[in-house]
């Protein structure tokens, strides 16, 4: 899935370069839209006392994004386990890779605050994607 991002003034430091923590926001938005594409909204999941929370993130900054850049976040799932998903995300400016992230999210019961199996409806919907589950 591809998700467009425009860099706004609020995303940058005084020099017009995207502040490093804001890349996490860009990747978070893209993961949310990835799930929404398969008809799973965060709000609906909360209604089921379920959330996907970041368990681990690895990020590599290659080149800076700057004010007014039009970027694209590419999101795929590289691993699918009982209670976790591993997303591979790449931030592009045209055909130039600016950053790459590997994000592991866990399916968590919000009442017990413990990991739970990813619901079958989500698992089945994500099976349509081109990777082995």
pLDDT of the residue at 127: 75
pLDDT of the residue at 132: 46
Of 13, 68, 95, 109, the active-site residue reads 13
pLDDT of the residue at 58: 98
Map tokens 């007014």 to a residue.
68
Q: State the Cα–Cα distance between residues 91 and 87, nearest whole angstrom.
A: 13
With vertex at residue 16, the alpha carbon angle to CA 11 and CA 22, rounded to the nearest 5 degrees, is 25
- Going by C-alpha positions, the residue among 71, 53, 59, 98 that lies closest to residue 6 is 71
pLDDT of the residue at 40: 87
- Asked if 109 is an active-site residue, the reply is no
Domains of the chain, residue spans: 2-124
Beta-carbon-side half-sphere exposure of residue 86 (alpha carbons within 13 Å): 10
Q: What is the mean pLDDT of each run of 10 residues along the chain (133 residues)?
A: 96 95 97 90 88 96 98 94 95 98 96 94 78 47
**Of 3.40.50.300, 3.40.50.2000, 2.40.160.100, 3.10.129.10, which CATH number belongs to 2-124?**
3.10.129.10
């Amino acid at each position: 899935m591809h998700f467009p991002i425009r860099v706004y003034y609020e995303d940058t430091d005084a020099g017009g370069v995207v502040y490093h923590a804001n890349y996490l926001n860009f990747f978070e938005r893209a993961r949310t839209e990835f799930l929404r594409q398969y008809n799973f909204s965060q709000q609906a999941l909360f209604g089921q006392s379920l959330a996907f929370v970041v368990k681990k993130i690895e990020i590599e900054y290659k080149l800076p994004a700057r004010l007014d850049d039009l970027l694209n976040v590419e999101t795929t799932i590289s691993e699918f386990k009982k209670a976790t998903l591993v997303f591979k995300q790449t931030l592009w400016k045209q055909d130039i890779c600016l950053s790459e992230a590997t994000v592991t999210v866990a399916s968590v019961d919000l009442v017990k605050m413990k990991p739970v199996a990813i619901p079958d409806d989500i698992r089945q919907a994500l099976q349509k994607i081109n990777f082995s589950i």
